[in-house]
Structure 1
Amino acid sequence: MVKITYVEPDGTRYDVDAQPGSTVMEGARDNGVPGIEADCGGACACATCHVYVDAAWADRLPPREAMEEDMLDFAWEPDPQRSRLTCQIKVTPEIDGLIVHIPEKQI
């Protein structure tokens, strides 16, 4: 299992053990983490699984692909360096310890 920490805007933390091969969005959904709505179910067709990757991790994840970049245009207050869609981040042993911050709202 791979540990991922989701942090709500108020500082509440959710430490989740996610299954390798799944996505960071599925880890949140399957463990009842609030604030990751994932309306499209992981198809990269919305921005309701938007998070801010912790600064320590921003350069350690694989880069965004064009489709994710396009969908982030619809996210609430996207950050050019830290915003990601959790449906596009694969859970691998390399991201063990990842910390993501959930925005105040999803749109």
Structure 2
Amino acid sequence: RFVELSGIVPYRTHWRFAVFQHSGINRPPPGTGIKVYFKDSKGNLLKTVEANEGDDILAMAHEYDIDLEGACEGSVACSTCHVILPPEYYDLLPEPEDDENDMLDMAFGLTDTSRLGCQVKLTRELDGLTATLPSATRNMFVDG
């Protein structure tokens, strides 16, 4: 016997699977993770989160419901996960690759310490990092 399914069920199942696959974040026990402070463009604290080593800023923002778009889902094909980092933390990161720099060139509000959140892999050395979200993003797929 077969049960007829509406067109919505396969979509919802796929959608849930895609979110599970994309996120893949295991939140660390409270007080044991790498602290990341998310601020808005005016410097107001949005949320303090804890991450594991190897997590990236974009994934953490999505896990904790912070409004960081990530239109390309971390494939370095947009600049919608652009964040601004304090110089002392920016200097701890490896230099951005050419593809990241190409996307950053299109980012709204680019600064000397701008990075794509999807490319910032967290380490213990980055504990206490503040990621400031710019006042706007430029999504070339939508904005042209």
TM-superposed deviation, 1:54: 1.6
Query: Secondary structure of the residue that 2:125 maps to in structure 1?
Result: helix
Tell whether the 8 Å contact from 1:19 to 1:27 is kept in structure 2 after alignment.
no
Give % identity: 35
Structure 1 unaligned residues grouped into runs of 5+: none
1:21 aligned partner: 54
Query: Secondary structure of the residue that 2:72 maps to in structure 1?
Result: coil
Q: 2: CA distance between counterparts of 1:10 and 1:32?
A: 19
TM-superposed deviation, 1:93: 1.2
Alignment root-mean-square deviation, CA: 1.2
Tell whether the 8 Å contact from 1:75 to 1:106 is kept in structure 2 after alignment.
yes
Deviations 1:9-32 (Å, cap 9, x if unpaired)? 233311110122221111111101
2:39 aligned partner: 7
Structure 2 unaligned residues grouped into runs of 5+: 1-32, 139-144
2:72 aligned partner: 40
Question: Is residue 90 of structure 2 the alignment partner of residue 58 of structure 1?
Answer: yes
Tell whether the 8 Å contact from 1:4 to 1:99 is kept in structure 2 after alignment.
yes
Deviations 1:85-107 (Å, cap 9, x if unpaired)? 01000011121111111100111
1:83 aligned partner: 114
TM-superposed deviation, 1:37: 0.4
Say how many residue pairs are matched: 105
1:96 aligned partner: 127
More helix by share: 2
Bigger relative contact order, structure 1 or 2 (CA pairs below 8 A, ≥6 apart) = 1
Deviations 1:61-95 (Å, cap 9, x if unpaired)? 2211111101101100211x211001000011121
User: What is the one-letter code of the residue matched to 2:62?
Assistant: R
Larger Rg: 2
More strand by share: 1
Of 74, 93, 104, the residue aligned with 1:72 is: 104
Tell whether the 8 Å contact from 1:53 to 1:84 is kept in structure 2 after alignment.
yes
